[in-house]
Amino acid sequence: MVSNEKLSGWSVQQMAEKVAHDIPDGAYVNLGIGIPELVAGLVPEGREVIYHTENGLLGMGPVPPAGMEDPELINAGKKSVTAIPGACYFHHADSFTMIRGKHIDVCVLGALQVSEKGDLANWSTGDPQAIPAVGGAMDLVAGVKTIYVISKHMTKTGEPKIVKECTYPLTGQEVVNRIYTDMAIIDVIDKALVVREMAPGVSFELLRDCTGAPLHRG
Give the β-pairing of 82-89 and 113-115: unpaired
Active site residue 54: yes
CA dist 11 → 7, 20, 71, 152 (Å)? 9, 14, 33, 9
Residues numbered 161 to 180 that lie near another protein (CB under 8 A) are 169-173
Nearer to another protein, 71 or 200 (CB): 71
Cα dihedral sign for 92, 52, 149, 116? positive
Buried b (16+ CB within 10 A) or exposed e, 89-101: eeeeeebbebbbe
The reply to whether 113 sits near another protein by the rule CB under 8 A is: no
Pairwise CA distance, residues 99 & 118, whole Å: 19
Q: How far apart are the first and last CA of the chain?
A: 26
**Catalytic one among 17, 54, 72, 174?**
54
Nearer to another protein, 81 or 154 (CB): 81
Nearer to another protein, 7 or 93 (CB): 93
| Least distance in angstroms from the C-beta of 30 to another protein | 12
The neighbour count for residue 174, using CB atoms within 10 Å, is 13
| Least distance in angstroms from the C-beta of 90 to another protein | 7
Q: Select from 56, 110, 212, 218 the one that contacts another protein (CB under 8 A).
A: 56
The neighbour count for residue 183, using CB atoms within 10 Å, is 25
The reply to whether 63 sits near another protein by the rule CB under 8 A is: no
Q: Applying CB under 8 A, what is the total number of residues that bind another protein?
A: 40
Catalytic residue numbers? 54
Residues that bind another protein (CB under 8 A): 53-57, 70-74, 78, 83, 89-93, 95-96, 99-100, 119, 124, 129, 131-139, 142-143, 169-173
